Chains A and B, each alone.
Chain A
Amino acid sequence: GAGVSQSPSNKVTEKGKDVELRCDPISGHTALYWYRQSLGQGLEFLIYFQGNSAPDKSGLPSDRFSAERTGGSVSTLTIQRTQQEDSAVYLCASSPTGIAFETQYFGPGTRLLVL
C-alpha cells in the first residue's frame, strides 16, 4: 500500500475486555514495530518483528500484551483484560529491512480508551 495503515482508528472498551489492534505495513517492509504513546508523552517501544518472528518483545508491559505477524505482513497487537492504564495511542511503524539506519514509517495509530 501507499503507507502504513492501522485499524481501528479509535477503540473504546470496558475494563477487563480484550482488544485487538491491527497494523498493515508498507508492502515489502520486513521490519515492523509497535509503540505506545500516552497523552503528551514520548514513544514507548513495545515489540519488533523481523518477518514473522519477534526477536525483541522486551517492551511489552505485561503478559496481557501479545502480538503476532503473519505472512510477513499484517500484525495484530492483542491486549487481554484491559486496564485503564492501557489507554494510549498505539502506533505501528515499518521499515524496509530493520536496520537502525532506516527511516521508520508510522501509521496513524489506534487511540485506545479503557473505561
Chain B
Amino acid sequence: GQQVMQIPQYQHVQEGEDFTTYCNSSTTLSNIQWYKQRPGGHPVFLIQLVKSGEVKKQKRLTFQFGEAKKNSSLHITATQTTDVGTYFCAGPGDSSYKLIFGSGTRLLVRP
C-alpha cells in the first residue's frame, strides 16, 4: 500500500540553527499537507501544497512540493524554542477521503 516516509525521525538543534524535514511518498500525490503537534498537544494544520514545484512561506517556515509531486520538505530558518514539536506531512491515500500521515519528525530546540 501507499507509504509516506519522513526523515529524520528526530532533530536536536541549537536555537538559531536551521532545520529541515523531508517527506517522501511511494506514489504521486495530488496535494500534500503539513501539520505541527506541540508536545502534549494535537496536530494542527500548517499548510497545503497542490502544484508541482510549489513553494510557500510562512514567516520562517518554507514549504516545498517536488516537481514529481512525490516529495516535500519543510525548512525552518533560525529556529526558536517555540518551534519545538513534531512535524507531520500527510498526503491523500488510495481513497478519496483518507489522509496518509508520515511518521513525523520531532524537533527539539536547545535554548
Q: How far is the CA of A54 from the CA of B14 in the complex (A)?
A: 46
Give the total number of A-B pairs whose CB atoms are below 8 A apart.
Answer: 59
B103 touches A106 (CB 8 A): no
Answer yes or no: A1 CB below 8 A from chain B CBs. no
Which residues of A have CB within 8 Å of B99?
100, 104
Which residues of B from 43 to 85 have beta carbons under 8 Å from A?
Answer: 43-45, 48, 50
B41 contacts A by Cβ under 8 Å: yes
Binary CB contact string for chain A from 49 to 63 against chain B (1 if under 8 A, 0 otherwise)? 010000110000000
Residues of B in contact, count (CB < 8 Å):
25
| B89 vs chain A, min Cβ distance (A) | 10
Say yes or no for A98: interface residue by CB 8 A criterion: yes
Count residues of A near B (Cβ-Cβ below 8 Å).
24
* Per-residue contact bits, chain B 80-111, to A (CB 8 Å; 1 contact, 0 not): 00000000100111011111111110100000
- Asked if A65 is an interface residue, CB under 8 A from chain B, the answer is no
Return chain B residues, CB-CB under 8 Å to A105.
Answer: 45
Give complex CA distance A43, B43 in Å: 10
B20 contacts partner chain A, Cβ-Cβ < 8 Å:
no
Q: Is the CB of A56 within 8 A of B98?
A: yes
